[in-house]
Structure 1
Amino acid sequence: MLRLRPLARAPLRRYFSASQMKDEYGAMSDAGDTFEHDGPFTLESGEVLPHAQLRYNTYGSLNPAGTNVLLVNHALTGNSDLASWWGSMLGPTLAFDTDKYFVVSANILGSCYGSTSPTSVDPSTGEPYGKSFPSVSVRDTVKLQGKLLESLGVTSLKSVVGGSFGGMQTLEYLFTGQEFGPETRSAIPIACGSHHTGWQIGISELQRQAIYADPDWAEGEGWNAKKGLEVARQIGMISYRTSQAYEEKFGRGVQGGKIYGSDAEWDVKSYLEYQGRKFLDRFDPITYVKLTEQMDSHDISRGRGEMKAVLNSVKVPTLIVGIDSDVLYPVHEQESLRDGIQGSELVVVNSDAGHDGFLLEQEEVSKNVIRFLESIE
């Protein structure tokens, strides 16, 4: 059983609504169906999960051939409920047209939204894995998703779509059919690169260090390192946006006229406190550490050869999407994908939202997804 002690919370000075700075996600839950892997699941590291499951959701109907399938992958703190984060793109006549396609969205292995994760019970101890949860790679998540797709009767994927962490999974699907799982006939990786760079690993590590600095991480089981998780989330919220967005929404706004020292009540401070505390309602410190480590494993060339040759080996239509203001996964990374994958196309979305533009600029992303999907069989 998880043993969480209550965290004392001072009242927030101000509530920030979506109209003041849009949130990336709607209400989050672990609702959906569950895929149970048959037998132990061996990870890329050589470690073995005695039991592995994925939570997933499906929309629309699978055709008799099992080929009208869109797989949509979520980002770091997302879930398999596609409607809660790309809802305006899901439904009849929309990008993920449920009259045409069988749309599948699967939770990441290691996530706290219904898949096997640090919160799951370790059969060898009868207690949650916690910090002992084994290291999972992006490739592990994709291989287990491949098993899920086969269990659903999927024989090939019309396209795989995803942004950020979801884009990393999407790039791995370019090698399914060759190595594992159903064949992928096209892909739309958004706001990501071919591998996690030192810049991105550094930002992940900074967030983890905030959690490690919480006394409960070193002295306790880690579940209650919540102040550290609050700070980690605040760091993330800075890296996901831009200077322009923060200036437009907050500028030098202040409450109560206090601008000096630790008593200063800047609007942006209140916003970041709100985001950090809100995050505690849906995530735990150990899962956050493990998932950021999984992102850091991203490298499509690992075990496949030199990156240029690996990218050149991709033969399926690929639409690459970048956000022009993204400082976390800058556009030059998407340009490198475009230059390496033969016949691929790059679309750069204009947005002041930074990295989160892939979630917030749904109209522009949707338009390009529809156009691309209509251009391929």
Structure 2
Amino acid sequence: MPFERRTTQPENPFASLAPNQTIALVPEFTFESGHTIRDVPVAYKTWGVLNEDGDNCMMICHPLSRSVDVEDWWMNLMGACTLEGEGKVIDETKFYIVSLNCMGSPYGSASPLTTNPDTGARYGPEFPLSTIRDDCRLHKMVLDKLGVKSVAICIGASMAGMHAFEWTFFSDTQGTSPFVKSIVPISAPAKSSAWSMSWTEAQRQAIFADPKYLDGYYPLTAPPLQGMTAARMTAMLTYRTRDSYERRFGRDIMPPSSSPTATSGQSSIPTIASTASEIHRRNHNEGRRHQNTSAAPPPSSTIGVLTPDGNPKPSSGTTTNNNLNTPANTTSAYQSQVYSAHSYLRYQAAKFNERFDANCYIALSRKMDAHDVSYNRGPYEDVVRSIKQPVLVIEIDSDVLYTSKEIKALSDLLPNGEHFTVKSDEGHDGVLLEYEKINDAIVAFMQRQDHIRELVRREGVAVPEKKTSRGSLFASW
């Protein structure tokens, strides 16, 4: 009997950002931790047609900040697959493409944003921590209901590549052969390192430090945006490299704003300051989301200056701004100096805040930290060596989050693994930016797999013509 299905999730404002997805309700699911929840939503999206044998499925897993709308963020990999020469990876005329949203994500599956049927309220911070393995177990239940007997290839980058590795340990319904026949993990480890786990911890601490976080019980109308801003900026630094920032930004300064207030992630404050002290204060706090412009701060001349008895030194009434050489009571134009690198980080954080939830960010980052395919299976190297499926391991040579050394060592353990290096100065973001190299590497890998060649040889089905990328809030990992 199929699961109940829905197309909307009214309690979750972010679910609508993934258009035309379906949300299946799994009656019950028990996490690895032993906690059980009911009426579990799983958002997914499909393209193409499942064949009679149920074996032409291509599974595209999504990264941390993505939804199941593959057309939005990997449109450049969609097109006609070929047996020889150039082609595209994601061919819905030959494959049944499936993307399923993982738990903890704000885009439709069970998460802190969804309703706990036992209380009638959102789970919030009380949503049980889920693992990569939990996701695969839950998604397998949905795939079974969809009629998928086996998956020809599973592709995923970053967190999605972690899911690809975990899928290699699942068997088909009969338990006689692997459920997933081949995988392509891109810039993804088989277990999270102390390095990557430390970055996510720093990001969580930024969110925790926001006074509006309230242990995760914040209203959606007043989320901890300052903490999320800091967390996202930190993450953005791990997605690129020093050289890419230097090449793109250097020490360039943004042109003065033509409007009286700052926008695009900058603090919305007036550009006119009445005193030198106020000018200094605003310069000092430039970039803070919400500066206090209503309360009168103490004169700058008294800050940090004490009398012999330890009391603050009284103000003389006037001060001199040595930098501007103007009296403190002189009205001056306030226009802060903003470097291009600063502006880029603020813009990316502001856009991210429009489409993501803090509790979900925490849940997903903890999921990544817990990732280890060898957990409860045996010694790590032995477990990785037990993966018999063909695996194409793709690394970005400049990736500072999942380093070339780390990915190459993993590749060497795989008995049926291939290794491909994408040369790029863009770091982890090369997963998106170097799409031509990644597409060509995966196409060549698919052309070497007999089971995939057999599927490509078959007559395809007609599908609507794809347009160009729609362009949305999903601009970076």
Q: TM-score, normalised by structure 1?
A: 0.89
Among 34, 43, 46, the alignment partner of 1:58 is 46
| Offset, 1:340 | 0.9
Q: How does 1:1-377 map to 2 (within 5 A)?
A: 28-29=17-18, 31-37=20-26, 39-93=27-81, 94-177=88-171, 183-218=179-214, 221-222=217-218, 223=220, 224-255=223-254, 262=286, 263-376=336-449, 377=451
- Range 28-37 or range 62-71, more displaced: 28-37
Distance, in Å, in 2 between the alignment partners of 1:220 and 1:164 is 26
| Offset, 1:373 | 1.0
Deviations 1:223-260 (A, max 9, x none): 41111111111111111111111111110001359xx8
Deviations 1:46-88 (A, max 9, x none): 1111121211111111111011111010100101010111111
Cα distance 1:213–1:70, how it changes in 2: closer, same or farther (>3 A)? same
Distance, in Å, in 2 between the alignment partners of 1:270 and 1:328 is 23
Q: Residue 13 of structure 1 corresponds to which residue in structure 2?
A: none
Question: Matched residues, percent identical?
Answer: 36
- Greater C-alpha Rg: 2
Q: How many residues align?
A: 353
2:65 partner letter: T
Distance, in Å, in 1 between the alignment partners of 2:56 and 2:217 is 45
1:331 partner letter: S
| Offset, 1:31 | 3.5
2:253 partner letter: V
Distance, in Å, in 2 between the alignment partners of 1:295 and 1:81 is 21
Distance, in Å, in 1 between the alignment partners of 2:355 and 2:348 is 12
CA contact (8 A) 2:165 2:373 kept: yes
| Offset, 1:103 | 0.9
Q: Residue 24 of structure 1 corresponds to which residue in structure 2?
A: none
What 5-or-longer segments of structure 2 have no aligned partner?
A: 1-9, 82-87, 257-282, 287-335, 452-477
Q: Tell me how large the CA RMSD over aligned residues is.
A: 2.2
Cα distance 1:219–1:161, how it changes in 2: closer, same or farther (>3 A)? closer
Q: Residue 21 of structure 1 corresponds to which residue in structure 2?
A: none
Q: Residue 23 of structure 1 corresponds to which residue in structure 2?
A: none
Cα distance 1:214–1:342, how it changes in 2: closer, same or farther (>3 A)? same
1:89 partner letter: L
2:356 partner letter: F
1:275 partner letter: Q
Cα distance 1:256–1:69, how it changes in 2: closer, same or farther (>3 A)? closer
CA contact (8 A) 1:30 1:55 kept: no
Aligned to 1:216, the other structure's residue is in SS state coil
Distance, in Å, in 1 between the alignment partners of 2:35 and 2:225 is 28
| Offset, 1:2 | 7.3
Distance, in Å, in 2 between the alignment partners of 1:184 and 1:219 is 39
Segments ≥4 residues shifted beyond 6 Å: 1-4, 178-182
Distance, in Å, in 1 between the alignment partners of 2:433 and 2:98 is 21
Distance, in Å, in 1 between the alignment partners of 2:203 and 2:112 is 18
Distance, in Å, in 1 between the alignment partners of 2:374 and 2:432 is 27
Cα distance 1:64–1:182, how it changes in 2: closer, same or farther (>3 A)? farther
Distance, in Å, in 2 between the alignment partners of 1:148 and 1:357 is 31
Distance, in Å, in 2 between the alignment partners of 1:29 and 1:360 is 22
CA contact (8 A) 2:186 2:394 kept: yes
Deviations 1:83-129 (A, max 9, x none): 11111112333211112111111111121111111111111221111
Cα distance 1:266–1:144, how it changes in 2: closer, same or farther (>3 A)? same
| Offset, 1:359 | 1.6
Deviations 1:305-352 (A, max 9, x none): 001110111111110000001000111221122111102110010111
Distance, in Å, in 1 between the alignment partners of 2:17 and 2:235 is 18
CA contact (8 A) 1:72 1:161 kept: yes
CA contact (8 A) 2:124 2:216 kept: no
| Offset, 1:264 | 3.5
Distance, in Å, in 2 between the alignment partners of 1:34 and 1:311 is 33
1:197 partner letter: S
CA contact (8 A) 2:11 2:114 kept: no
Distance, in Å, in 2 between the alignment partners of 1:279 and 1:237 is 11
Distance, in Å, in 1 between the alignment partners of 2:11 and 2:107 is 16
- Range 112-121 or range 212-221, more displaced: 212-221
Distance, in Å, in 1 between the alignment partners of 2:12 and 2:151 is 42
What 5-or-longer segments of structure 1 have no aligned partner?
A: 5-26
CA contact (8 A) 1:60 1:103 kept: yes
